[in-house]
Chains A and B, each alone.
Chain A
């Protein structure tokens, strides 16, 4: 086969991988969960009474020294550095998130939420964590999806869609895999390894800024923390295999013992349960705010829409003829 023919074949295969179609119901569920988590976080800020001090420049009485930075965020280049501006941005963001969660003008409301959140992140970078970046990534991806056409006002206004591009869900799977795998490979401190006695979680839980409670007694169950450290590393490193699991599913009719093993034993289920347990552990022992809940809000992406509907005992439409999963096999 000529190089040109081979290249064309590869490009066709690449296009087919990303050009699959499915019910956007999973994306709709993620839309609602992500909006709920973010709305809770922003409601909590208002509940604590710190909207103005978090997002107003020091000239207006807040924490951020934003006006001396280069570049100054557009929010305070275009509007006065006062608490009113901070409250206005907060109001726009919350309004956009409510619309996004309700699936109302979803592409616009999602992008507005991401852009205003990005402005607030620039105003107070120290207060913006990795989870906020991740959720903005998700907002942008969902804004370009049909997530508002299921369980949303957009579905009422413009019609429900039962088939839409699947690439946004596939990107979210890739994103989850990258988050965990990169977190794993960057854990280069010896404390995460047997060379450092797998002491990482024990040490982290002694940090008064991180721990949810005092863990003075933790030395009595030190081996449990070592086991949890090792489990965390196994979970995060194995996240690199998640795309492979989906690839094996996609090409399930091809030969290969590894492919057959993955498709028969479904190790992804165990991995998902381990991830849920890890985040439950974080939620119970660490003071990391929305982090564990926001991560779990993305887990539905790991389910095919049919799997999700089976999970809830619903199959409210005539089964669609399934596209041959091994279209790349040729």
Chain B
């Protein structure tokens, strides 16, 4: 029992498991670091954003190395049972959230019209599927650097849209990125068509 609790305790400890210096350049990280620089300045500590990011990266990387030294020996058991102790829930509220958008074109040169647009009640095609937590996980996890799953998801959505409406000729799936701010603050303009994938129905019809 003591051994199990010891290992699980280390798994639960808020230690980074991996560090990438580039992830500290993401907008949400830059915003957080800027706020911390300001906070430190208020305490009389002068440090630049880059210096703070470097320091955070170095200390995080050291902790990650220590974590792996302890956890790697039991990792096969954790993998096969799918158990663990990582409980970060909304650690950093995303101030640059993405909204999934599905558009279709019903003629070869016509405009794209929206089928699905996040919480937009007038564009709620397949909302139950796209809001389901496991499907949301597939596209939520692709907003920084889309991978193969993003292509597969967009291709499947295109196939579904083409199958449902014989007039549809092409389907475009993309993200619109927003900037959420506190009341009274100025937000950056939205950035549509991020990571857009466009499929013609001839590519995806089953």
| Given known A54-B134, A178-B85, A178-B87, contact A206–B128 (CB-CB < 8 A) | no
Task: Answer yes or no: A88 CB below 8 A from chain B CBs.
Answer: no
* Chain A residues within 8 Å of B20, by CB: none
A132 vs B138: C-alpha distance when bound (angstroms):
15
Contacts of A117 in B (CB 8 A): 82
Q: Which chain B positions have C-beta within 8 A of A44?
A: 132
Nearest opposing residue in chain B for A189, CB measure: B92
A68 on interface, CB distance cutoff 8 Å: yes
A215 nearest CB neighbor, chain B only? B119
Main secondary structure of the interface of A (DSSP, over half): helix
- Considering the complex, give the chain B residue whose CB is closest to the CB of A197: B182
- Asked whether A196 is an interface residue with its Cβ less than 8 Å from the other chain, the reply is yes
CB-CB under 8 A from B12, the residues of chain A are 178, 182
User: Residues of A contacting B35 with CB < 8 Å?
Assistant: 190, 195-196
Judge whether A50 and B135 touch: CB under 8 Å: yes
Q: Are B87 and A127 in contact (CB under 8 A)?
A: no
Task: State in angstroms the CA–CA spacing of A255 and B79 once bound together.
Answer: 45
The digit string for B17-57, where 1 denotes a CB below 8 A from any CB of A, is 00000000000000010011001000000000000000000
Q: Does A92 contact B (CB under 8 A)?
A: no
- Cβ-defined contact, A287 with B148, below 8 A: no
Of the residues A50, A62, A185, A214, contact of B132 by C-beta under 8 Å = A50
Is the pair A137, B83 in contact by a Cβ cutoff of 8 Å?
yes
Q: Which residues of A contact B128 (CB under 8 A)?
A: 48
Query: Which of B2, B80, B91, B182 meets A186, CB within 8 Å?
Result: B91
**Once the chains bind, are B99 and A133 in contact (CB under 8 Å)?**
no
Are B90 and A200 neighbours in the complex by a CB distance under 8 Å?
Answer: yes
The number of chain B residues with a CB under 8 A from chain A is 58
Instruction: Report the separation of the CA atoms of residues A136 and B133 in the bound assembly, to the nearest whole angstrom.
Output: 17
Chain B residue numbers with a CB within 8 Å of A191 are 92-93, 95
Interface residues of A in 265-308 (CB under 8 A from B): 287-291
Does any Cβ of A come within 8 Å of B73's Cβ? no
Q: B82, B92, B180: which has the most chain A beta carbons within 10 Å?
A: B82
B26 to chain A, nearest CB (A): 13
Chain A nearest Cβ from B152, distance in angstroms: 5
A110-125 vs B: 1/0 string, CB under 8 Å?
0000110111011010
Cβ contact within 8 Å between A64 and B93: no
Are B97 and A209 within 8 A (Cβ)?
Answer: yes
Residues of A contacting B148 in the complex (Cβ-Cβ under 8 angstroms): 58, 65, 68
**Given A64-B149, A186-B91, A187-B91: A136 touches B97 (CB 8 Å cut-off):** no
How far apart sit A54 and B8, CA to CA, in the bound complex (Å)?
A: 30
Chain A residues with Cβ below 8 Å from B94 are 203-204, 207
Per the 8 Å Cβ criterion, residues 45-102 of B in contact with A are: 79-95, 97-100
Task: List residues 120-142 of chain A with CB under 8 A from any CB of chain B.
Answer: 121-122, 124, 126-130, 132-134, 136-137, 140
| B1 and A126 contact, CB distance less than 8 A | no
User: What residues of chain B lie closer than 8 Å to A40, measured between beta carbons?
Assistant: none
Q: How far does the Cβ of A197 sit from chain B's closest Cβ, in whole Å?
A: 6
Any A CB within 8 A of the CB of B163: no
Contacts of B81 in A (CB 8 A): 114-115, 118, 136, 140
The yes or no answer to A183 lying at the interface (CB within 8 A) is yes
Which chain B residues border A207 with CB–CB below 8 Å?
93-94, 97, 180
In the complex, the answer to whether B93 meets A208 with C-beta atoms within 8 Å is no
Candidates A18, A126, A196, A202; contact of B138 at CB < 8 Å: A126
A87 close to B (CB within 8 Å): no
Bound-state Cα–Cα, A63 to B1, Å: 39
Cross-chain contact of A195 among B39, B92, B180 (Cβ < 8 A): B39
Let me know if A222 is at the binding interface, CB within 8 A.
yes
A26 to chain B, nearest CB (A): 19
Complex Cα distance A209/B138, Å?
12
Give the chain A neighbours of B142 by CB distance below 8 A: 126
**In the complex, what residues of B have CB within 8 A of residue A290's CB?**
133
Minimal beta-carbon separation of B44 from chain A (angstroms): 16
If A189-B91, A206-B180, A209-B97 touch, whether A128 touches B147 (CB-CB below 8 Å) is: no
A-B pairs with beta carbons under 8 Å apart, 10 shown: A48-B132, A118-B80, A127-B134, A130-B86, A133-B83, A140-B81, A185-B14, A187-B90, A195-B39, A209-B98
